[in-house]
Amino acid sequence: MATAAGTSLVFRQLFEKESSTYTYLLADKDTKEAVLIDPVVDTAERDAKLVSELGLKLIYVINTHCHADHITGTGKLKSLVPGCKSVISRASTAKADVLLEEGQVTFGKFSLEVRTTPGHTNGCVTYVLMDESIRMAFTGDTLLVRGCGRTDFQEGNPATLYDSVWGKIFTLPDDTLLFPAHDYKGQTMTTVGEEKRHNPRLTQSKDKFVEIMNTLGLAYPKQIDRAVPANLKCGLQD
Evaluate whether residue 69 is within a structural domain. yes
- Residue 237 — very low, low, confident or very high, per pLDDT cuts 50/70/90? very low
Sign of the CA dihedral 30, 85, 180, 186? positive
Evaluate whether residue 219 is within a structural domain. no
Cα 50 versus chain centre, distance = 19
To the nearest whole percent, how much of the chain has pLDDT over 90? 79
Instruction: Look up the domain containing 58 and give its range.
Output: 9-214
pLDDT at 68: 72
Structural domain count, the chain: 1
Evaluate whether residue 233 is within a structural domain. no
Measuring CA to CA, which residue among 85, 150, 90, 162 is closest to residue 123? 90
Evaluate whether residue 119 is within a structural domain. yes
**pLDDT, tens digit, 9 for 90 and up, residues 172-211:** 999 999 999 999 999 999 999 999 999 999 999 999 999 9
> Which CATH number belongs to the domain containing residue 201 in this structure?
3.60.15.10
Walk across the sheet containing 57-62 and list its strands: 9-16, 21-28, 33-37, 57-62, 85-89, 98-100
Q: What is the 3-state secondary structure (H, E, C) of 5-60?
A: CCCCEEEEEEEECCCCEEEEEEEECCCCEEEEECCEHHHHHHHHHHHHHCCCEEEE
The overall average pLDDT reported for the chain is 91
Evaluate whether residue 227 is within a structural domain. no
3-state secondary structure of 205: coil
pLDDT at 220: 67
Measuring CA to CA, which residue among 18, 5, 14, 1 is closest to residue 138? 14
